Structure 1
Amino acid sequence: MTDSNLYLTMKGTNEGIIVYLDDQCAFSTLLNELKEKVQSDTVNDRTDITIHCQHRYLKDWQLDEIRKVVEEDSSLKIKSIESNVLSHQEALTWFDETTVKTFIKTIRSGQILRVDGDALIIGDVNPGATVIATGNVFVLGQLKGIAHAGSDEQANSVVVASYMNPNQIRIANKISRAPDYEVEGSEREFAYINEITGQIELDDIHNLQKIRPNLTDIVERGL
Structure 2
Amino acid sequence: MGEVVTIKGTRHGLLILFDPEKDFEDIRQNLYKKMEAARGFFKGAKFAFYQEPVKNEHKEKLEQICQQYGLIHQPEIRAKIIPNTTTPTVGSSTGSHLVNDATASQPSQNGTLLVKRSLRSGQRINYPGHVVILGDVHAGAEVVAYGNVMVMGSCRGVVHAGAAGDENARVVAHRLTPAQLRISSSIACSPADGENDADYPEIAYLSPDGQIIVEAYNSSRPAGRSSN
TM-score by length of 2: 0.47
TM-score by length of 1: 0.48
Q: Rg: which structure is higher?
A: 1
